[in-house]
Amino acid sequence: MHAEIIGVVATFIATVLLAIPLGKYIAKVLAGERTVLDFMAPLERFFFRVSGIDATREMTWQESLVALLTINLIWFVYAMVILMIQGSLPLNPDHNPSMSPDLAFNTAISFLVNCNLQDYSGETGVSYFTQIGVLMFLQFVSAATGVAALAVVMNAMKERTTDKLGNFYNYFVKTITRILLPLSVIVAVIFLLNGMPMTWEGRDTITTLQGDTVQVSRGPVAAFVPIKHLGTNGGGFFGANSAHPFENPNYLTCIVELVSQSVLPMALVFALGFYLKRRKLAVMIFSVMTIGFLLLTISTVMLEMKGNPEIARMGIDLHSGAMEGKEVRFGAAISAYWSILTTVISTGSVNAMHDSYMPLSGMNQMLGMMVNCFYGGKGVGILNFYIFIIIAVFISGLMVGRTPEFLGKKIEAREMKIAILIVLLHPFLILVGTALSSYFAAHDTAMGYWFSGKASGWLSNGGYHGFSQMLYQYTSSSANNGSGFEGLSDNNPFWNITTGFVMILGRFLPIIGPVAIAGILAQKKYIPESAGTLQTDTATFGLMVFGVIFIIAALAFFPALALGPIAEHFSMH
């Protein structure tokens, strides 16, 4: 039992220790300082020349957003087209079919927005061409988009008054060439050495020892999985995601996958500190995130190691914990850790099936996504946190008797309006989506085109857990997480299309909002600090931010959680 916990603790510590130097490196890359990978510069210059981009021209926040949205639109069109014709494209040894329009819509958006919700199964739903040429491509670029947006915001947080916030393309391309790609190669090599396949051959048919004939899906997995985690994307090569033995062969790869999905979100927090030369601020942010993360993690690890009380009543040996949906080579402890890590950051990859976790573990997973900023997704985690800081600064600024300011910039009505809209958006998308689906499920509506059969048919579990399945799906979509209570039948127009829209809104508005706020603040006059200025890098302020997150982001979901996981939990006891 305790040996398992040592693995969890060691993984976490290793991640933090790696994140600090990596954060320093990222800060240097984004600031354009000398780094070890400067030999990439000619390649980058070549890219810019071919694309007709002047990467030294500084952009305003509006221009950056236009560039970001334009290139995302192009990716969306590209992905949508390929998904719908993949059946006739090469590199499809298993002859998987083209996607239906609604599934293609959902999948294209899902990977475009770094969500990686998968309403298909990797083995049967996509070709190798799609896996590498569309999905993996989007995993690279969507992660880099988030980092580039964060870079614009970080640039805007400097102590000066300007509307020139660096070049979006420059940040974007360098994130790929100097951060994501090199790290992917390193991680891929580790995977290859641990038996992860990297082949273009299709399914293998074998006769097993016992004499059954089964097929074994394979593919270029080792290229795909590194960026899936480094980019906090989480979309699995196989249906079972990182629970699949080819996608996660052993405990070592499990640790590597855990570290690689969380090290960049953590490193970006440190990068912020190094970049702005405000290390204490970074430490404050990191501490708040870590405390939130640990609160969720510790209770989940305990619940999963204890096991399912219903099964305990059956009187069997429960010392491995809650093993439904989990793999023996990982065990309950690190699976619990994974489930929280993957939901607090927006990866959404799983090494065990979330649907079968204990009710309160499921709640913790959902809370991780509802809050969506304890570390958070690539770049966007800090952007979400930034919004909470703005609101906390506003309230606590008043509490020390000054009109609120953050990093020397006054926070006024306009910024407040944007911040509030972004804060509103997340509960709106989640609760309205869940309300819609529970309405249909409650009335068992015949769904026609939208779903074959009656609405309650999309639930694999009834009662409170069924409600949790729907709540989880929209929470995961809005948080751009991509994990799921996979028992939900989600490959149908209703779920594909509604979650598709939730994913788009849940991605781009929370990028546009913070970039706009930071851009507006950057244009304001810089006010130097005085003894009366609110200190934002203190533990007290950290507590305030935590309180704001708790009351706005977590408590707003309390009634919904009470009807789902909380009711389910107490019904077991």
- Closest distance of CB 239 from other proteins, Å: 5
- Closest distance of CB 91 from other proteins, Å: 11
Token pair 């391309």 is found at 173
Shorter beta-carbon distance to other proteins: residue 260 or 270? 260
d(CA 483, CA 361) in angstroms, rounded, equals: 14
Shorter beta-carbon distance to other proteins: residue 137 or 270? 137
> Rounded to an integer, what is the distance from CA 570 to the centroid of its chain?
30
- Closest distance of CB 179 from other proteins, Å: 13
- Closest distance of CB 245 from other proteins, Å: 4
- Closest distance of CB 442 from other proteins, Å: 4
Token pair 């939730």 is found at 502
Q: For helices 493-523 and 61-85, what crossing angle results, to 10°? A: 160
d(CA 272, CA 27) in angstroms, rounded, equals: 7
CB 117 within 8 A of CB 106: yes
d(CA 398, CA 404) in angstroms, rounded, equals: 6
Shorter beta-carbon distance to other proteins: residue 113 or 322? 322
- Closest distance of CB 233 from other proteins, Å: 13
Smallest CA-to-CA distance from 258 within 501, 546, 15, 82 is with 15
Shorter beta-carbon distance to other proteins: residue 341 or 411? 411
Shorter beta-carbon distance to other proteins: residue 17 or 216? 216
Shorter beta-carbon distance to other proteins: residue 24 or 416? 416
> Rounded to an integer, what is the distance from CA 39 to the centroid of its chain?
31
d(CA 388, CA 402) in angstroms, rounded, equals: 19
* Contacting residues for 331 by C-beta, under 8 A, at least 6 apart: 4, 320, 321
* Contacting residues for 561 by C-beta, under 8 A, at least 6 apart: 363, 366, 367, 471
d(CA 534, CA 55) in angstroms, rounded, equals: 37
Task: Identify the helix (H) or strand (E) that includes residue 107.
Answer: helix 101-112
- Closest distance of CB 24 from other proteins, Å: 25
d(CA 493, CA 103) in angstroms, rounded, equals: 7
d(CA 552, CA 406) in angstroms, rounded, equals: 20
Shorter beta-carbon distance to other proteins: residue 308 or 496? 308
Smallest CA-to-CA distance from 20 within 232, 256, 268 is with 268
- Closest distance of CB 445 from other proteins, Å: 12
Phi, psi of 65 (to 5 degrees): -65, -40
Task: Identify the helix (H) or strand (E) that includes residue 474.
Answer: helix 463-478
- Closest distance of CB 564 from other proteins, Å: 9
Shorter beta-carbon distance to other proteins: residue 290 or 535? 535
CB 407 within 8 A of CB 535: no
Shorter beta-carbon distance to other proteins: residue 27 or 217? 217
DSSP state of 114: T
Shorter beta-carbon distance to other proteins: residue 27 or 544? 544
Smallest CA-to-CA distance from 289 within 276, 302, 273, 277 is with 273
- Closest distance of CB 500 from other proteins, Å: 20
Shorter beta-carbon distance to other proteins: residue 108 or 560? 560
- Closest distance of CB 487 from other proteins, Å: 3
CA distances from 134 to 77, 129, 508 (A): 11, 7, 20
DSSP state of 100: P
